[in-house]
Amino acid sequence: MRYPHDPQLLARVLDCYKPHCRYLRELTVETSGQHACATGTFEIPESCYIDATGHLNSVEVNIGYNQMLYQTIAVLVRHQDGPLFDGWTMDEFWRRQLPDILITRFDSTFRRPIDPRRFHGDITFAGFEHRVSGADGTPYLALDTEFHCWDDAGGNCSGNARIAVVGAPRRLEAVQ
């Protein structure tokens, strides 16, 4: 399935960000079975924490990645597409967006500088597995993702991130 940009949903997803940190402008999501990928456009007119460097930096890539992740999950939940968030309602997504969806690992590699004023990015949900926290036995879904950012002048970075969705249902084991 292909889900076009939903500006109202994106506005709600980004509502938890300070207004000057809402970088994602649009996002289209595509799914096939249990796989999902999304492509978006970003604009960062001014860094939220540092004087202008003239190029996109890893902090802003991380923020943009997070915004793509949240919007992609919101689209999957809204359309009840795929097994990862099966059974979630939009109310559950809004309740769990910040406390239960965690970046546990984030790696990025920059090959050429990217102009932050307008660039593109994509995210792919590459795989998942159920795990249990060694610290307290809490079940969670470990979601592996890959991402790529680029601009029209050849700027390029890519990376991967692991996401923990705390309290995810164990029924996904049968889906893999």
What distance in Å separates the CA atoms of residue 26 and residue 47, rounded to the nearest whole number? 19
Contact partners, residue 47, CB within 8 Å, separation at least 6: 53, 57, 60, 116
Contact partners, residue 137, CB within 8 Å, separation at least 6: none
What distance in Å separates the CA atoms of residue 105 and residue 94, rounded to the nearest whole number? 23
3-class DSSP assignment, residue 108: strand
The whole-model pTM stands at: 0.93
- Predicted local confidence at residue 169, as pLDDT: 57
The domain locations on the chain are 2-174
53: left (phi over 0), alpha (psi -120 to 50) or beta: alpha
Q: Give CATH superfamily name and number for 2-174.
A: Rv0098, thioesterase-like hot dog domain (3.10.129.30)
For every one of its 176 residues, what pLDDT tens digit does the chain have, with 9 covering 90 and above? 999 999 999 999 999 999 999 999 999 999 998 899 999 999 999 888 888 888 999 999 999 999 999 999 999 999 999 888 888 999 999 999 999 999 999 999 999 999 999 999 999 999 999 888 888 888 899 999 999 999 999 999 999 999 999 976 554 444 44
The neighbour count for residue 15, using CB atoms within 10 Å, is 11
